[in-house]
Amino acid sequence: DQQVKQNSPSLSVQEGRISILNCDYTNSMFDYFLWYKKYPAEGPTFLISISSIKDKNEDGRFTVFLNKSAKHLSLHIVPSQPGDSAVYFCAARPTGANSKLTFGKGITLSVRP
Amino acid sequence: KAGVTQTPRYLIKTRGQQVTLSCSPISGHRSVSWYQQTPGQGLQFLFEYFSETQRNKGNFPGRFSGRQFSNSRSEMNVSTLELGDSALYLCASSPAPAGGNEKLFFGSGTQLSVL
């Protein structure tokens, strides 16, 4: 059972425009959410996170929005740059010290120059 | 500060063999987690070790095992390899047990191919 779903496997946007990457989850116990970015031949690197007590967190060009009632979060990248082309993983974990991180399958973002 | 180091970078094995992968966490990090990445399944959690103790385990068969040493370095072992074990194995470390607001720092992975 896929508890974190990234239903769109890929997204292509023009440089300078907004990229919106979506993620849905089913486990209502999830209360901390993260986005990781992965380039080929490298490990994932942390991008941005959000706690369930917030509905928005911003870091430079990256903003994550959380809609708890819809069990949905999205990552906005504005403006998109060619260097943003990578695989983006959404991840979530429930409350508790012994909680594991559950990842989605990832979205491949291509930013066209 | 050096990042998470995984060795070897690439590995080719045949069905039935066993394999050991190694992970050295960031200095000072005591938690090590292992993930399997395949094109169709994304990142799947294998297990997490903290202070030489397994804290959490994913839904993988007993052929997958791991351990952590007193210097926080970790190894994972896969016995009786199957074709479906071909994947990128990623190791991640964090200062404290993975949970709460802890962020994971990943290595570049070991690409395992089973022929």
Q: How far is B90 from chain A (nearest CA, A)?
A: 7
- Among B45, B58, B97, beta carbon nearest to A97: B97
Which chain B residues are within 8 Å of A91, Cβ to Cβ? 43
* Probe site for chain A from B41, B43, B56 (most A CB atoms < 10 A): B43
Q: How far is B86 from chain A (nearest CA, A)?
A: 16
Instruction: Please tell me the predicted confidence (pLDDT) of residue B33.
Output: 95
Total H helices, total E strands in chain A: 0, 11
In a 3-state reduction of DSSP, which class is residue A82? helix
Model pLDDT for residues A75-88, shown as the tens digit of each residue: 999 999 999 999 99
Sign of the alpha-carbon dihedral angle for B2, B4, B10, B13: positive
Structure token pair of residue A35: 């986005």
Least CA distance to B3: which residue of chain A?
Answer: A43
Structure token pair of residue B62: 């007993």
In this model, does residue A97 exceed pLDDT 70? no
DSSP state of A17: S
* Probe site for chain B from A6, A98, A101, A103 (most B CB atoms < 10 A): A101
Tell me what the mean pLDDT of segment B11-20 comes to: 97
Instruction: Please tell me the predicted confidence (pLDDT) of residue B96.
Output: 79
Instruction: Please tell me the predicted confidence (pLDDT) of residue A19.
Output: 98
Q: What is the percentage of chain B residues whose pLDDT exceeds 90?
A: 82
- Among B41, B45, B107, beta carbon nearest to A101: B45
In this model, does residue A90 exceed pLDDT 90? yes
Contact A32 B101 (CB under 8 A): yes
Structure token pair of residue A14: 């023009």
Model pLDDT for residues B23-57, shown as the tens digit of each residue: 999 999 999 999 999 877 889 999 999 999 998 89
Contact A44 B40 (CB under 8 A): no
Taking phi over 0 as left and psi of -120 to 50 as alpha, with beta for the rest, A96 belongs to left
Instruction: Please tell me the predicted confidence (pLDDT) of residue B110.
Output: 97
Q: Is A108 exposed, middle or buried (0-12, 13-18, 19+ CB in 10 A)?
A: middle
Q: What are phi and psi of A51, to 5 degrees?
A: -95, 155
- Structural contact between residues A36 and A89, judged by C-beta atoms closer than 8 angstroms: yes
The strand pairing partners of B47, in sequence order, are B34, B57
Model pLDDT for residues A5-64, shown as the tens digit of each residue: 998 899 999 999 999 999 999 999 999 999 999 998 889 999 999 999 999 999 999 999
Taking phi over 0 as left and psi of -120 to 50 as alpha, with beta for the rest, B66 belongs to beta
